[in-house]
Amino acid sequence: MGNILFLSGVMLTIGLKSTMQFFAKPKNYKGTISFGVGFFLVLIGWPVIGMIMESYGFIILFRHSLVDYYVSLVYPDSQQNLNGRFAVEHDIEYLKTKIPRIKGG
């Protein structure tokens, strides 16, 4: 039931055509196949293995979005540029203040 709701939610959010294009991209084949095989395994009665396969497929499909979400949690006070990535200068300056310098000697 959750799988069907997930797929229908994606379709309602970005549209049927965009959903089909997203899952059919060559770079997303690995995640799409893993998610589909997991869905099939859940349907035939192997829920644990199916859920593991679905989770792997979900992570592969949405890994870039998950990274952006994680970075926004780590740097909540920073500003993002237009494509959702943080400015490199800000990251370097932030890391310089947080990482102490190690002096040799």
pLDDT at 40: 93
pTM of the model: 0.59
3-state secondary structure (DSSP) of residue 99? coil
At residue 86, the pLDDT reads: 52
Q: Using one digit for the tens of pLDDT, what is the confidence trace for 41-58?
A: 999 999 999 999 999 998
pLDDT at residue 11 tops 90: no
Q: Which alpha helices (DSSP H) does 15-75 contain, by range?
A: 16-24, 29-44, 47-61, 63-74
Q: State the Cα–Cα distance between residues 54 and 2, nearest whole angstrom.
A: 11
Residue 55 and residue 89 in one domain: no
Q: Has residue 81 been placed in a domain?
A: yes
Q: Phi/psi at 80 (nearest 5 deg)? A: -100, 150
Asked if residues 64 and 31 have their Cβ atoms less than 8 Å apart, the reply is no
What is the per-residue pLDDT for 46? Answer: 92
Q: Is the pLDDT of residue 73 over 50?
A: yes
Q: Which pLDDT band, with edges at 50, 70 and 90, does 101 fall under? A: low
Do 46 and 15 share a structural domain? yes
Full domain range(s) for residue 72 = 64-100
One domain for residues 56 and 72: no
Tell me what pLDDT residue 104 has. 47
Domain count, the chain: 2
Residue tagged 């190690």 (tokens)? 102
